[in-house]
Structure 1
């Protein structure tokens, strides 16, 4: 799928489009200068297996933005924990054309580490465990099954590859080489803290936060700051807790509130060669319903 051209937003200049988000800076920002702030617009595009798929999920951008904003507020202290700084900007109006699916944020010195935390064994971690008994090289006890809770949440960082290339799972020691011991430790410790707080919030609402990923940057004062989206259906796996307790097969246990429907359909209908097939209407609608249901359950 070729993404549609970004919107023309008066007063803003488009500078970048990722798989699912578009980035704008104030139109008067000089070339090469740090912008006063950024506008991050969440599209309805959906990606899986490093491809943008067609069609998109109607309303997805707004649903994910609302969920990110809710989580940023919770982590800023509304959940009773210590405030986690985030990149949101107050006092600047979002353009009407993208209101509800855009965030105004500060420009940060983004770190090249994708901070992944896994509380349950599934996905690529399960595939590795079956072969080596490890997840990202970390040894695990014998006898675990797909969907099992891990003894302790695992921090498994990845190196954020340049655009068009695949992210690379790395060891904590490798992250130290990339960003230094102090920053690598801070990224790990804050990621685990946020995961535990979010998992507890999800559990109160009948949900399991199986895994998630965070991105961080340093602000102008050198404060480590939570950025990008946070704890959404695109960056996390959420399961129904009651189904997980009562299910006897992985499919029953991992009743999901994310894009697993898309992943499963694509894995069954595409060999990962060439252009992915178009998603059928029922897959699109079921995915939209699960995204909306998660927002309702959490908020």
Structure 2
């Protein structure tokens, strides 16, 4: 995938992908590879804060995007509670997100564990892993009769403490019921949207409407009082009014410690985001540079092997 191209509709290079070469006949690269503080109060900075490509035809510039980060972001949006693949990050099945449910020929069954969970073996790298499924149905268990009332309270925006008082249950039971309801919604949505591909082939044109929202999240710990802005994108079909899933700029399956450790080992904090391994994620140095105007030692630097 190559998303870096000219965006000018009237230009001859519109949609023509850029090549990863200095001798590209259509584009030239400009800007510093080092991150620069983009603060309006600082007037001493004269060089651009992002790396761009400039079209040689229309002279318009486009911010450089990391193709690998875009592919990984698209794969993270396809997450499914049953869509698990090989956990080895260097395996082609993991890189291409070939799940056990969609590509069973890429894996072998290796028996079951003592608890009854299926054990799988990857044909590419030989890695063995276990898919842990919560086999307890919401209609079973000591608090099964409170599953639907719990979800109704959540949908009516009741607080967790209030739900605990009304239903007389432990907060972990509430969180488990929310998790079960979320996975059920994801499975139901996947079954419905699997038919959209065949429906879209019959229609020549599909008109979509897209909107963006920003959610402000309070700090998680009182020692780290950073308000987090999570942006979301919602899309609807204009003809049928069908609402597609709302995608947010948050990946709950990413490992923050591994991302920081690999980034500092590679020295990515000293380069602009387009040239990093995980350019779709913010590092602690990015936040400190944006908020305070200078770098502070990251708390994860001590975990990096010399």
Q: TM-score band, normalised by the shorter chain?
A: under 0.3
Would you tell me which structure has more strand in proportion to its own residues? 1
Of the two, which has the highest radius of gyration?
Answer: 2
TM-score with structure 1 setting the length: 0.25
TM-score with structure 2 setting the length: 0.24
